[in-house]
Amino acid sequence: MKKGSSEVFSFKSRRQQRLDDGGQINRLEPINFTFDGKKFTGFEGDTLASALLANGVRLVGRSFKYHRPRGIYSAGIEEPNALVALRSGDRHEPNTRATAVELFPGLEAKSQNRWPNLLLDYLQINNLLSPFLSAGFYYKTFMGLPGWHFYEYFIRKAAGMGDGTKFKDPDKYDKKHMHCDILIVGGGPTGIAAAVTAGRAGARVILLDNHPTLGGQLNGELFFLDEKPAHYWIEKCVEELDDMEHVTIATRTSAFGYYDSDVVNAIESVSDHLPEPPDYQCRQRLWQIRAKRVILATGATERPLVFSNNDRPGVMLASAARRYVNQYAVRPGNKAVIFTNNDDGYKTAFDLARVGIEVVAVVDSRKKIPEHFEKELNEKEIEVIPRSVVVDTHGYFGLNSVEIGTLSQDGKTIESNPFIVSADLLAVSGGWSPNVHLYCHSGGKPVYNDAVEAFVPGALSQNGHSAGAAKGSFSLNDCLHEGHDIASTLVKALNFESAKQIIPETNEKNIVPIEALWRVPGKGKKFVDLQDDVTESDITLAHREGYVSVEHLKRYTTLGMGTDQGKTSNLNGQAIMAQEKAEPIEKIGTTTFRPPYTPITMGTLAGRDIGLSYKHTRRSAMHNWHKQNGAIFVEAGQWLRPQYYLDELEQPSKENMDTAINREVQTVRTSVGLVDVSTLGKIDIQGKDSAEFLNRVYTNGWTKLPIGKARYGIMLREDGLVFDDGTTSRLDECHYFMTTTTSNAAAVLSHMEYYLQVQWPDLDVKVTSVTEQWAAMALAGPKSREVLSKLLPTRNVDNESFPFMGVREFDIEGVPARIFRISFSGELSYEINVPADFGEFIWQRVLEVGRTYNIRPYGTEAMGIMRIEKGHVAGPELDGRMTAADLGLQKLLSTKKDFIGSKMMDREGLKDKNRPRLVGLIPVDKTSRVKSGAILVKDPTLAPPVPKLGHVSSSAYLSPTLGHPISLGFVSGDIIETSKKVWAVSPLHNESHELEITDPIFYDQKSERLHD
C-alpha cells in the first residue's frame, strides 16, 4: 500500500474511452452487461475486456499469490491476468479470460481472488509478506510440520483461482468426427492464403479459427494489401472459400490438441457468445478431425518484458494496445509510453498516436534504432529514447508514472539516474514467440532461433507443417507467401493439380532485428509469470537451490503452470535461467507442451456420454415383468437384475428386504421358485473339432460327453490359476452350448477366439456369443419337476427319462426350448432357455402353471444365499488368484491330457499345502454379520504387523435354511489342520468376529436333492 494509499481510484471517476469512430464494432447494437454488479454498456463485436476498457475499467482482478491489483494485459487467449467468473447459478464458470469472452446481452462477470471486493482485498497483506513467499515457501515452511492438513485449507484458499459451481451443468455438449485432405489451423493471413490455394486445387479443406471472424492478427492492425485495407482482401477470400463446397470454415473453433495419426481435436463454441444455448442446440461441440495433411498457421504470441513492477493495471502488451485501438475503437490509456526491444513497439506508437493518444516516448532497449520509422516518428512528434529501459512503474490501482533509465553497455546496470514521466498506459513488447504448441503435441521438438529470439518448429513429426508466424516468419509478406507455398506443396503431394494465387503486395517497413532483453536491472518485483505470480527472483532462487532444469524450474516455481500454461511467460523464464547458468537458451531447452492448448470444458470431452448414456444398461427379456411385480433391481456389471421382490400379495406392508429374501429362499427349499438367469454368458460352439477344443479349454475331459448331456467345467489361465467356471452341453455331434459367469462372458469369448485364431488355427471350431439371443430362467425346488411336467404334458420328465445333467430340446406352448437339468441352488432344478422374444411369455406361463405349488420368483440375493449354503464357488471366489485345489475342485484336473494352464499349474508355489483354501465359516455367536472382504487373523488383539491367514469371500447374513449367518472364505492350509477357529477383522468398520471353520458345503452334502 506504500505508494498507492493516498491514491483514490473509484468507479465514479471512470472516463469513457471509446473512440468516436472506427473499429470492427457495431455501434447500432449496444449491449448491456455487469461487472461486479455494476452496469455497463458495450457494443456488438466487443470482448468483455474491450468493453471494460471502453468504460474506463482498468482494475479487473487480484493476482494469484500476492493479491496485487491487476488489469487487462492482452487482447487474446494468452491473457494471464483478466480472469473473471462468468454467468451465475448452474452456468457459473470461473477463470474465463475477459479478453476472449464475446460480449452478449446480460453478460454477468465477477472479479476473482479478492475478499471482500476488488478495492479492499484483505489478502493483499500477502504482498507485504512477499519477502517470505518465495518459490517453494509453503512447502519449505509447512510441509513436514504436524498439521499440514490444517494449514493447507487456508493456504489453498488464499492462493487460489475462482470457485466452480456445485450445480449440475444444464447444457448439452456434442461430438463430431470430420475427415479432410488438408486441415488448416488458424485463419490469419497464413491460413487464409493456404486455404485459398488448397481450395482452388480441389482438396477437401477445413479451416479453423478461434475468433468469431477470420483475419487473425490482421484484424488488430492497419495493414494495406494491394493498397487497400486488409479486410477487403479477407472478405474477398472468405467469399471465394464460402462458395467452395469442399471447403469448411469453422470460426469460434479452437484446435486444442494434436494427437497420433494426424488427429486434431478442436472445440467449437457454438453458443458461448449467446446468453444461453438456443433450444435443441448444444453449448460446445468437440471436433475430432482426421486430416491427411495439417497446416499449422497458429501465429505467435507477444512476450512481456521483465522489469520492476511490470504488473500494474495499465501495463499491456504492445500488440494488444493497438488491437484495442484498431479493432475495438477503444483507448487503452490516454498517455502512453512504449517499451520495446523490437520493431513491434513502433507500430503501436503510430496506431495510438493516430487516434489522439499522447505517446510520451518509445523506450527502445536496442542500440540500433530503425531508421525507416524516422519520417513517421517526426510527423507524429514521437520521441524515441534508444538504449533505454523502463526501470520501474508507479501507481497502486493503476499506472500513473514510469521511470526511464539508460542501459549500460553490458546491459547489467542502469547508467544514469532514471527520470520519471507520467503515463497511464505502458505498452510493452519483448518480441514474439511462435505458437508451437500443436507442433509439439504432434511429437515435434522446437529449436531455438537466434534471429527471432524464440523457439521455432524443428523437424517435421507426423504431417503437421508449420507456416507463417507459427514458424517464426513474422512479416506479413512472408506469412502470405508461406501459406500459399505450403498449401501448394501439400496438394501436389496428395495428387491435386496445384493452383495459382496472386499474393497481394503489403505496406510493411523493413524489420530491424530484435535484440534480446530478458530482464531489466532493478530492485522491485519483476514478474515473469503474471498468472502464477512468479518473479525473476523466484527463478534466480531456484537456480541457487539447484532446480536448474526447465522441468524442475517449472514445478518448483510454478512458472507456466496456470490456466494460460505460460503462453506469455515460458521463454522469459527459461532465458533468465539460461543467463543464470551462463548457457545458451537452446541448451536449457523448453518444457513439454501438452494438450489442451487452451482450457476446455469437461462437458465437451464427455459429450452425450453422461447419465444413463454413460454406460449401457442391459435388461433381460423379462425385465418389464420384474418391474411390474415388485422387483428391486441391482446392477450386475451392465445388467439390471432383480435383487429380490417385495411381494405385496404375500404379506402386505410387512415385507422388507430381509423378510423378502428369507421368504424367497424358503419357497425354493420347500416348494418351487423361478429366477431369471438370462445374464449368464452363453456361447454357441460348432465345428467338427469342438470336443477337442473344449478338451483343451477346460481342465476336465470332454471327448466322451454324449449328446443330450451337460457337464460342469473350470477353465484355467495359462499361468495355472482358475479363470472361469460354467456348464457346457452337447446338443449335437458337432454342436455345443457353453455358459459362463455373468461377469466373465466377454473375456471367455475373447479367450477362446484367441486360441482358435492365433494358437490353434488348424482346429475347425466357430464360437459365437448368443447371450442376447436366449432368455434363461431356472425353475428350482422340490416341486420343480411337477411344474415342468404340467408345462410339458406330452413329455416324460421323470428321473430316468430326464436325469440329472440331462439336456432336452422340447417345445413349450409351441416355443422351442432348451431345458438343462442343472442346479446352482442345490435343489432339483431345470434351466429353461427360450428365444429372447418369447422370454416373458414363457416366464409368465411357468408361473401360471406353478401357481398350485405356490411358485414365486426369486432374485439374486436368495440365489446367492442358496449357492453359499451349497458351497458353490462364484465371482468372489473366482478372483483370479485361486488354483483349482484352493477351490476344492482338484478332482476336475485331468491328468490324461494337456489343457490351458496344465503346464504352469504344477509349479511348487501353487501346490503348497499351506495355501489358503475354501472353507465354510460360521460366527461363533451364531448372529454376527461378517462382511465379505474381512481379513482372517489368529487374534484380533495382536499389534501390527498381524499375519494374514485368509479372507472372507462371500457372506450370507442369515441362512434361512440353517437359521444363522454363514460365510465362505479361504484359510491357510496349516490353520485348517491345527485350529478350529479364526477371527475375522474389518478395521475399516472397527469390527472383529470369531468364526468357526467348517466344511464349505453347509447343505445337502451328498447332493441327494439333485439326483432324485
Partner 1 sequence: MLIINCPLCGPRDHAEFTYIGDATKNRPKSDDISNDDAWYDYVYLRDNPKGLHEELWQHSFGCRCFVKVVRNTVTHQIIATGMPKEDLILDEKGFERSV
Q: Which residues bind partner 1 (CB under 8 A)?
A: 259-261, 263, 288, 290, 443, 461-462, 718-719, 750, 753-754, 757-759, 761, 898, 903-904
Q: Which is nearer to partner 1, 128 or 746 (CB)?
A: 746
**From residue 558, how far is each of 64, 532, 543, 663 by CA, in Å?**
11, 7, 14, 63
Q: Which is nearer to partner 1, 330 or 721 (CB)?
A: 721
Spatial CA neighbour of 465 closest among 294, 298, 300, 595: 294
Q: Which is nearer to partner 1, 210 or 695 (CB)?
A: 695
Q: Which is nearer to partner 1, 294 or 779 (CB)?
A: 294
Q: Which is nearer to partner 1, 230 or 748 (CB)?
A: 748
**Distance (Å, whole) CA 834 – CA 837:** 8
**Distance (Å, whole) CA 431 – CA 387:** 16
Q: Which is nearer to partner 1, 182 or 514 (CB)?
A: 182
Shortest Å, Cβ 490 to partner 1: 19
Q: Are 950 and 969 in contact (CB under 8 A)?
A: yes
Q: Are 566 and 303 in contact (CB under 8 A)?
A: no
**From residue 730, how far is each of 457, 694, 727, 733, 809 by CA, in Å?**
65, 11, 10, 7, 11
**Distance (Å, whole) CA 123 – CA 116:** 9
Shortest Å, Cβ 895 to partner 1: 13
Q: Give start and end residues of each alpha helix (H) in 850-994.
A: 860-870, 908-911, 973-978
Sign of the torsion formed by the C-alpha atoms of 39, 41, 45 and 50? negative
DSSP states along 678-724: TTSEEEEEESTTHHHHHHHHBSS--TTPPTTEEEEEEEE-TTSSEEE
Shortest Å, Cβ 911 to partner 1: 15
Spatial CA neighbour of 698 closest among 732, 733, 730: 730
Q: Which is nearer to partner 1, 286 or 934 (CB)?
A: 286
Shortest Å, Cβ 262 to partner 1: 9
Q: Is 628 exposed, middle or buried (0-12, 13-18, 19+ CB in 10 A)?
A: exposed
Q: Which is nearer to partner 1, 213 or 902 (CB)?
A: 902
**Distance (Å, whole) CA 997 – CA 982:** 7
**Distance (Å, whole) CA 865 – CA 956:** 6
Shortest Å, Cβ 724 to partner 1: 18
Q: Which is nearer to partner 1, 260 or 381 (CB)?
A: 260
**Distance (Å, whole) CA 345 – CA 336:** 11
Shortest Å, Cβ 691 to partner 1: 17
Q: Which is nearer to partner 1, 169 or 718 (CB)?
A: 718
Q: Which is nearer to partner 1, 285 or 525 (CB)?
A: 285
Shortest Å, Cβ 720 to partner 1: 9
Shortest Å, Cβ 899 to partner 1: 10
Shortest Å, Cβ 465 to partner 1: 17
**Distance (Å, whole) CA 597 – CA 439:** 11
Q: Which is nearer to partner 1, 808 or 897 (CB)?
A: 897
Q: Which is nearer to partner 1, 493 or 657 (CB)?
A: 493
Element (H, E) at 457: none
Element (H, E) at 520: none
**Distance (Å, whole) CA 345 – CA 365:** 11
**Residue 268: half-sphere exposure toward Cβ, Cα within 13 Å:** 21
Shortest Å, Cβ 586 to partner 1: 22
Spatial CA neighbour of 725 closest among 742, 713, 743, 709: 713
Shortest Å, Cβ 59 to partner 1: 44
Q: Which is nearer to partner 1, 139 or 754 (CB)?
A: 754
Q: Which is nearer to partner 1, 169 or 719 (CB)?
A: 719
Q: Are 86 and 101 in contact (CB under 8 A)?
A: yes
Shortest Å, Cβ 491 to partner 1: 22
DSSP states along 491-512: HHHTTPPP---PPPPB-PPP-P
Q: Which is nearer to partner 1, 749 or 873 (CB)?
A: 749
Q: Which residues, other chains included, contact 639 with Cβ-Cβ below 8 Å and sequence gap of 6+?
A: 617, 618, 619, 620, 679, 742
Between the two ends of the chain, the Cα-to-Cα distance in Å is 94
**Distance (Å, whole) CA 34 – CA 17:** 17
Tell me how crowded residue 352 is: count the other CB atoms within 10 A of its CB: 29
Q: Are 583 and 155 in contact (CB under 8 A)?
A: no
Shortest Å, Cβ 613 to partner 1: 16
Calculate the CA 534 to chain-centre distance. Answer: 28
Reading the block at residue 264, the C-alpha cell is 486434431
**Beta strand residue intervals within 74-162, DSSP E:** 83-86, 93-97, 107-111
Shortest Å, Cβ 753 to partner 1: 6
Shortest Å, Cβ 743 to partner 1: 17
Q: Report which residue type is found at 940.
A: P
Shortest Å, Cβ 597 to partner 1: 16
Shortest Å, Cβ 723 to partner 1: 13
362 forms bridges with which residues in the sheet?
338, 384
Q: Which is nearer to partner 1, 770 or 1001 (CB)?
A: 770
**Distance (Å, whole) CA 312 – CA 316:** 9
Shortest Å, Cβ 204 to partner 1: 17
Q: Which is nearer to partner 1, 334 or 461 (CB)?
A: 461
Reading the block at residue 442, the C-alpha cell is 504432434
